[in-house]
Amino acid sequence: MSTITRFAPSPTGRLHVGNIRTALHNWMLAKKNGGSFILRIDDTDAMRSREEHVDAIRADLTWLGLDWDREERQQDRLDRYEDAFRALKAAGRIYPCYETAQELEVKRKIQLGRGLPPIYDRASFGLSAAERASKEAGGTPAHWRFLLDHGEPITWDDGIRGPQKFDPAQLSDPVIRRADGSWLYMMPSAVDDIDMGITQVLRGEDHVSNTAVQIQIFTALFAAGFAATESAAKKIPVFAHEALLVGREGKLSKRLGSLGCDAFREREIEPEAIIALLARLGTSMPVEPIADRTTLVESFDLSTFGRAPAKFDEQDLERLNAAIVHQLSYEAVRTRLPEGMDEAGWHAIRPNLANIGEANEWWQLVTGPVSQPEFTADDRAYLAAAATMLAWGGDPWQQLTHALKEATGRKGRALFLPLRQALTGMDHGPDMAELLPLIGETEARTRLERAAGG
């Protein structure tokens, strides 16, 4: 069976780094196995979903290079959820409930006060038909819960966490439909996974208990005769739950909830750096500045994922970004470079960049003007000699420094630093052998003469 994965964001906000990691790993899982990656917009919450967020999700995934094979929208699939609802209702696996949110909160607090888990007590499940009719006649709208089967444990072999076992009696019957008729996450997600032939679900470990519930929903739907087609395999997806991201301090961070593609773009972080970091974060594989996604995909393996929280460090990302930038070809970046910078210019300044935005600052060393420091009398005389000895040939920097060394006896820092300061205004920077030809003979001589006081 071909591997089919999905990324299913709710368009109630922008993608953050945790969402991006989930999307990336599902994309890699599909690519590794020659399968399909589906973008599924989980927009059943019509009150909170926004079309601008849908557009932003698409734009962010595109910027990251995470292409999807097809897109699905839950709002286009409401009829299928009605079909599933009727099938489960006919099978006796869903029931109406009439408690208000306030009443449920009071029950929860009482249970917690007694040291008990806050599990729904199935009070509405025990109502008679007459009692239900009375509730509805009194204007109390029903919401609907899925009836968990307490007969046997829920088990599955998790792709990361290994064998899992849940006692369904320790779980609340989940609400699958609100009193206003709108859908919650649990049932529509299972219906979509069936219809779309999802073979593997890779998501955060905060969904582990949801998976236990959804496995029973899958089983109940299949038992009720619900399937994508009569010939479709009634098979539950393989589940894997990865450890959540934590901040540098080792705790879940609000910062991670707001750190998304806009923030990365503002800091001029390359998509390749984000991918290289998140691809292996939380695994036993080394995080390396690998810009080639094929290499990352080929090494992707769920068996390398650990159970410990994955620590996301923005400083690590910045270091990785610099290393990625140092690998980028001129063709990959030329439209983002300052006017006039050619391939030689890119090659000269690239090793000094933390991000591509810094290219403007470094390119000014070529285009000028540069601000020179105050020089001693000895250095001014030395720079005057340099202006005279400057000759243009195959390697003007080597020719100049060799001639000055022979004429003045200077070497090391005393030989090189005044020249760099006069020509660039800086104590450090790109390789002068590459930079000097870009500055040009006339401008280089002018800068040397100005530094000499000429």
Residue 410 has a CB neighbour count (10 Å cut-off) of 19
What is the band of 172 on the pLDDT scale with cuts at 50, 70, 90? very high
In a domain, residue 243? The reply is: no
CB distance 151 to 223 below 8 Å: no
Residue 313 has a CB neighbour count (10 Å cut-off) of 15
- Residue 183 is given by DSSP the state B
Spatial separation of the C-alpha atoms in residues 340 and 164, rounded to whole Å = 60
The residue type of 140 is T
What is the band of 398 on the pLDDT scale with cuts at 50, 70, 90? very high
388 and 437 share a domain? yes
376 and 432 share a domain? yes
CB distance 250 to 204 below 8 Å: no
Residue 99 has a CB neighbour count (10 Å cut-off) of 16
399 and 373 share a domain? yes
Q: In what order do the strands lie in the sheet with 175-177?
A: 94-97, 143-146, 175-177
In a domain, residue 429? The reply is: yes
Structure tokens, 241: 């739950």
What is the band of 234 on the pLDDT scale with cuts at 50, 70, 90? confident
* Whether the predicted model's global pTM rises above the 0.85 cut: yes
In a domain, residue 390? The reply is: yes
353 and 383 share a domain? no
Spatial separation of the C-alpha atoms in residues 422 and 452, rounded to whole Å = 9
Q: Read off the pLDDT of each residue in 373-382 and give the average, rounded to a whole number.
A: 96
* Predicted confidence (pLDDT) per residue in 345-369, tens digit: 999 999 999 999 999 999 999 999 9
Where residue 379 sits, what CATH number does that domain have? 1.10.10.350
Q: Tell me the DSSP string of 398-447.
A: HHHHHHHHHHH---HHHHHHHHHHHHHSSSS-S-HHHHHHHH-HHHHHHH
**What is the structure's pLDDT at 230?**
56
Angle between helix axes 412-424 and 441-451 (nearest 10 degrees) is: 110
In a domain, residue 391? The reply is: yes
342 and 375 share a domain? no
Beta strands in 292-440 (DSSP E): 310-311
CB distance 251 to 340 below 8 Å: no
| Domain count along the chain | 2
Strand-pair category, 143-146 with 94-97: antiparallel
**What is the structure's pLDDT at 229?**
64
In a domain, residue 131? The reply is: no
377 and 346 share a domain? no
| Contacts (Cβ under 8 Å, ≥6 apart) of 423 | 365, 370, 432, 435, 436, 439, 444, 447, 448
**What is the structure's pLDDT at 173?**
98
**What is the structure's pLDDT at 251?**
66
254 labelled binding-site residue = yes
* Predicted confidence (pLDDT) per residue in 243-285, tens digit: 999 987 776 666 787 789 999 999 999 999 999 999 999 999 9
Residue 436, pLDDT > 60, answer yes
In a domain, residue 384? The reply is: yes
Spatial separation of the C-alpha atoms in residues 53 and 55, rounded to whole Å = 5
372 and 446 share a domain? yes
Q: Residue 338 is part of which domain span?
A: 330-366
Q: Read off the pLDDT of each residue in 98-107 and give the average, rounded to a whole number.
A: 93
| Contacts (Cβ under 8 Å, ≥6 apart) of 238 | 157, 159, 199, 200, 201
Structure tokens, 407: 């004429």
Picking from 318, 342, 366, the residue at the C-terminal end of a domain is 366
103-107's contacts with Cβ under 8 Å and 24+ in sequence apart are none
Q: How far apart are the first and last CA of the chain?
A: 79
358 and 405 share a domain? no
In a domain, residue 362? The reply is: yes
Residue 231, pLDDT > 60, answer no
345 and 396 share a domain? no
**With the C-alpha atoms ordered 406, 409, 414, 418, is the resulting torsion angle positive or negative?**
negative
415 and 440 share a domain? yes
In a domain, residue 265? The reply is: no
Spatial separation of the C-alpha atoms in residues 383 and 410, rounded to whole Å = 12
**What is the structure's pLDDT at 232?**
58
What is the band of 227 on the pLDDT scale with cuts at 50, 70, 90? confident
* Predicted confidence (pLDDT) per residue in 125-164, tens digit: 999 999 999 999 988 899 999 999 999 999 999 999 999 9
CA 21 remoteness from chain centre: 4
Q: Read off the pLDDT of each residue in 85-102 and give the average, rounded to a whole number.
A: 96
Computed over every residue of the chain, the mean pLDDT equals 94
Spatial separation of the C-alpha atoms in residues 251 and 309, rounded to whole Å = 9
350 and 403 share a domain? no
362 and 372 share a domain? no
**H/E element, 162:** strand 162-166
